[in-house]
A and B are shown apart, each in its own frame.
Chain A
Amino acid sequence: MLARFRSLLCALFWRQDFEAGMSDELRFHIERYAEDLVRSGMAQDEARRRARMEFGTLNSIQADCREARGLNFFDEFGRELRFAFRLLRKTPVFTVTALLTIAVCLGANLTIFAVIDSILLRALPFPDADRLMTVFNTYPKAGVERDGSSVTNYYERRGHIPALSSLSIYRFGTAIVGDAGSTEREQITQVSPEFFETLGMTPAFGRVFKEAETTFQADAVAIITDDYWRARFNGDPHVIGRQIRVDSVPKTVVGVLPTGFRFLSSKSQLYLPLSSRLEQRGPRERHSGGNVIQMIARLKPGATLAQAQSQIDAQNKSLEVDDPQAKMMAAAGFRSLVVPLHADQVAAIRPILLLLEAGVLTLLLIGMVNLANLLLIRANGRAKELAVRQALGAGKRYVLSETLVEITLVTVLGGILGLAIAAGGTRLLLALGADRLPLGGAIVFDTRLAFIGVGASFFMGLALAIPVAWFHLRRSVSAALQGGTRGATSGRAAQNLRQGFVIAQVALTFVLLAGAGLLGLSLRQVISVSPGFQADHVLTGQISMIGNRYPNPAAGLGFVERLVNSMSRQPGVRAAGVVDNLPFSGHSGKSAATVVGHTLRPGESPRGHYSYSVGGDYFHAMGFSLLAGRFLTAADSRSVQRVCVVDEDFARYYWPNTSPLGHRLFQGSEVGPDSEAYTVVGVVSSAKQAGLTEEAAQGAVYYPYIYRSTPNIFVAIRASVRPESLTLTLERVVRQIDPDLAVNGVQSMDNRIADSLIARRSPALLAGLFSAIALLLTAIGTYGVLSYAVAQRRREIAIRMALGARPNQIRAAFLNVALRLFVSGAAIGGVGAWLTGRAMQSILFHVPTFSISVVGGTAVIMGLISLLACSLPAHNAARLPPINALADQ
């Protein structure tokens, strides 16, 4: 087998050597034979003639030799390929149209598939990744769908859930890394000691964290990624034991991770122990997750998710016994859910990606239908030629293989062009922000996808060859020959097929366009939602107060006050304030508040509310509306009189009929001493925290900074100038107050809101792009079929005109055909649009299943395009000089 393959390859690649060697060999034989004949007494000339004659026909012997090598098939294939090239070169308009159709449709498909493949299909890059789970607490009745896990959960569960072989927690964060003067903010991940074991990874060298390193006294150790090791330590083989300053604390490197290690979408280069104090591990902190700490776990071989879930449920139940908060948590619908890690990561993006995939497949289908039609028209032009060849003895096999070679040549060439488009498209998507999707960092267009693309283009060729081969082989040769000479109307079946294709194309494009319209409308609805404050002219940035200068809340307040005072004196600044939890910053943890005098009604669950700590002139800076009372001011942090401001939703929930002013509440889920009660002094407009599409009236409480202090703050600045122009000012002011601190993620509020829409805007943009291509293809398809119909019926038109038909009647006849095709297609498309609307309902925002404006708009656009596409051929038909058409043949 191998020997045959090798000998065939040798003959193919050294074809000239093969041919020359063969001639030499045969010539040698004849000469030797002639010499022998001369030696036996024959005359020279006679001997030569005799030798040649006895040897046989040289050409046929050579052909037999070639066949013995298996070369015939390739010779024939090569001939057909050259023939196909010649044919395609003769019709450049068709060829370019076909190549571009394939290239664009396939390129778009490969691009979207690259995204789907990286995000949805490919397993996470860990051994047995399908056994990796995430576990999180949920309190659905309190409006908290997801609250992460607490440190307590971790210590209570590890080793106690038999279905899990390993369990760990992690927390994403940032830290200032480096020596004073050359610091940089880095993403970090704090992890429990088993973290890498849970993932099934071990460090390339060094070790993982030890149990003893999870306390604050002993946690000065770090594990670094391979990239970080190469970039910062120049790949020093003795890096273990060297130190890095993290938040101005020196940490000893104990391990280096393997090349390419990346945890989900995280960009962390540094892994630190997730340390905690003993009291943080106790039962009181069981429900303190706050969606900050996340838990991952690995199923034991043979164990199922359901087993793990029931074991965790059982443990939660048994822990309830001595939990003072048990009743309240049960009322909030508390459960801990086990969910596959990969599915959980991509849950939000999955429906949108699948929708895009459906859209792009529709586009491919439209392109294929278009091409099938163009090919059928082209086939008709060659029907007579092929019939003549069949009459001269070409077999059906020949017709079939010629059709196949020609069409697959077009699709494969188009497919190769499509690879270039896909490579560019993938880059475009990444530029549009696809790398910010969950697991989006892994999006690549690689050789595997290129192979899939070329393979797909080959199969597209096979599929497209079917109708064309059917067309050529369907009727008898004599009919084809006669049909050509008579110049009659085209075959009924072929015409029906072509028109059916146009209808299908119109219908599919209609659905695609309507789907894009729904996405666009949905996007417009989202954009028109008010965030609850005036987002224009606001500059925002994040600051972490690290180091020894901020040991207590008072020191933090000192920084906040200096920052706000200094910033508000800068030219172009109207107001400045800080908040711990900026809207649209990606932080959306909720916590409890206890309103004095409010008792839970039967069936009512305790609710999670957004809680903010604010400093400076935050409300003016963000442009909140004041509905009652007053805003919090800088002075409230200096006052022992505790006050707070609530939002409209909060006020409506607890005091539906009275003014909230003067009422009192506590932070947290319990009533505390009177001195810790906050008096409501104002009501402000409700702001969207997680995104514009947030619908639940969650309620919010704003506390003065000092009473809910945190080292991680956002600064908000209202500008009278373009907000970005204040970036340098903000950075300078922060450096003047504390040279060790840096401002991160400085961007305008408008920008943050626009970023939050990326999962809606990009699909709408892409769907719009796909629809535009589909419209163009439909126009080409309609135009092609009608022009062809006109060309086919030249004689008929000419006769009718000679008999007195007016040009308008001829034009009307063709427009009528086009109208019929369009109406049929649009009717089917309308039903499709309705079904699509239903399927898309979950990702649409305030858009009805059947939007009259979208479907109507689609119909108008498609009608115009169809009219445009058919008016030219119809016009041509009407202007046909009868004498020319009749004289044609």
Chain B
Amino acid sequence: MSKTADLLPGTLDMLILKAVSLEPLHGYGVLLRIRQISGDALDIPQGSLYPALYRLEHQGLIAAEWGQSENNRRAKYYTLTAAGRKRLREETAGWNRLVTAIAAALNTAPEEM
């Protein structure tokens, strides 16, 4: 457990968008995919996943459709909408700017001042 990092507020939506941008996923799949693409570093609290999915669907960023799961059970699959794709691009760019800036700030040595 020590390997996993706590999620920063506001990053869950971004991660969900990223996960479903790769392929249509059901809720549990989203959870597994985020864990997988973060190299098991990020673990999402299961209870907060679904309200986030419902909120994103409500905002029209992802779309839901009922389909068959791997073991032939009925499951709700989420896909990224055009609006969601745009939002993911914006958030990724924003996040990268933030990370670069914070990294730059943190790497500043005393002589560089």
Interface residues of A (CB under 8 A from B): 2-4, 7-8, 21, 24-26, 28-29, 32-33, 54-57, 60-61, 64-65, 67-70
Contact = CB atoms under 8 A, between A and B. Distances in A.
B74 to A, nearest CB: 7
A56 B46 contact: yes
Given A25-B75, A29-B28, A33-B28, A57 B47 contact: yes
Given A29-B28, A33-B28, A7 B47 contact: no
Interface residues of B, number: 23
Given A33-B28, A69-B54, A4 B47 contact: no
Nearest to B27: A29
Nearest to B32: A36
Contacts of A56: 45-47
B85 interface: no
B87 interface: no
Contacts of B76: 21, 24-25, 28
Given A4-B59, A7-B57, A24 B46 contact: no
Nearest to B75: A28
Contact of B50 (A24, A26, A32): A26
Nearest to B83: A3
Contacts of A54: 46
Contact of A28 (B28, B47, B55, B59): B28
Point out which of B26, B45, B50, B83 has the most chain A C-beta atoms below 10 A from its C-beta.
B50
Interface in B28-59: 28, 31, 45-47, 50-52, 54-55, 57-59
A288 to B, nearest CB: 75
Given A28-B27, A56-B46, A70-B58, 17 more contacts: A2-B60, A3-B59, A7-B58, A7-B60, A24-B76, A25-B26, A28-B74, A29-B27, A33-B28, A33-B46, A57-B47, A61-B47, A61-B50, A64-B51, A65-B54, A68-B52, A69-B54
Contacts of B74: 24, 28
A25 B46 contact: no
B60 to A, nearest CB: 3
Contacts of B28: 28-29, 32-33
A60 B47 CA distance: 9
Nearest to A11: B58
A68 B60 CA distance: 12
B69 interface: yes
B20 to A, nearest CB: 15
A67 B75 CA distance: 22
A28 B60 contact: no
B73 interface: yes
Contacts of A67: 51
Nearest to A29: B28
A68 B49 CA distance: 12
Q: Is the interface of B mostly helix, strand, loop or mixed?
A: helix
A29 B69 contact: no
Nearest to A31: B73
A775 to B, nearest CB: 55
Given A28-B26, A28-B75, A65-B51, A4 B46 contact: no
Nearest to A60: B47
A263 B50 CA distance: 66
A70 B45 CA distance: 23
B107 to A, nearest CB: 38
Contacts of B46: 29, 33, 54-56
Interface string B63-76: 00010010001111
Contact of B58 (A21, A57, A64, A69): A69
B45 to A, nearest CB: 8
23 contacts: A2-B60, A3-B58, A3-B60, A3-B83, A4-B60, A7-B60, A25-B76, A28-B28, A28-B74, A28-B75, A29-B26, A29-B28, A29-B46, A33-B28, A54-B46, A55-B46, A56-B45, A57-B47, A60-B47, A64-B50, A65-B51, A65-B54, A68-B55
A60 B52 CA distance: 14
Interface of B: 26-28, 31, 45-47, 50-52, 54-55, 57-60, 66, 69, 73-76, 83
B58 A25 contact: no
Contact of A55 (B47, B57, B73): B47
Given A25-B50, A61-B50, A68 B58 contact: yes
Contacts of A70: 58
Contacts of A60: 47
Nearest to A26: B50
A68 B51 contact: yes
Across chains A and B, which 4 residue pairs bring their CB atoms closest together, nearest first? A3-B60, A56-B47, A64-B51, A68-B54
A7 B54 CA distance: 10
B73 A28 contact: yes
Nearest to A58: B47
A33 B27 CA distance: 11
Nearest to B81: A3
Nearest to A51: B46
Contacts of A3: 58-60, 83
Nearest to A69: B58
B51 A28 contact: no
Contacts of A2: 60
Given A29-B28, A54-B46, A55-B46, A4 B51 contact: no
Contacts of B31: 29
A165 to B, nearest CB: 53
A26 B51 CA distance: 11
Point out which of A2, A24, A26, A28 has the most chain B C-beta atoms below 10 A from its C-beta.
A28
B51 A61 contact: yes
A2 B83 CA distance: 12
Contacts of B47: 55-57, 60-61
A69 B51 CA distance: 9
A64 B69 CA distance: 25
Nearest to A64: B51
A21 B47 CA distance: 17
Contacts of A7: 57-58, 60
Contacts of B60: 2-4, 7
A69 B69 CA distance: 25
A443 to B, nearest CB: 47
Contacts of A69: 54, 58
A520 B28 CA distance: 81
B8 to A, nearest CB: 20
Contacts of B50: 25-26, 29, 61, 64-65
A62 to B, nearest CB: 8
A26 B47 CA distance: 10
B66 to A, nearest CB: 8
Contacts of A55: 46-47
B27 A25 contact: yes
A37 to B, nearest CB: 12
A60 B45 CA distance: 14
Contacts of B45: 56
Contacts of B26: 25, 28-29
A399 B37 CA distance: 51
Contacts of A57: 47
Point out which of B26, B54, B55 has the most chain A C-beta atoms below 10 A from its C-beta.
B54
B11 to A, nearest CB: 17
Nearest to A70: B58
Nearest to B76: A25
Contacts of B51: 61, 64-65, 67-68
Point out which of A4, A8, A29 has the most chain B C-beta atoms below 10 A from its C-beta.
A29
A8 to B, nearest CB: 8
B19 to A, nearest CB: 15
A329 to B, nearest CB: 78
A32 B75 CA distance: 11
B84 to A, nearest CB: 11
Nearest to A63: B51
A584 to B, nearest CB: 72
Contacts of A68: 51-52, 54-55, 58
A25 B74 CA distance: 9
A8 B73 CA distance: 27
Contacts of A26: 50
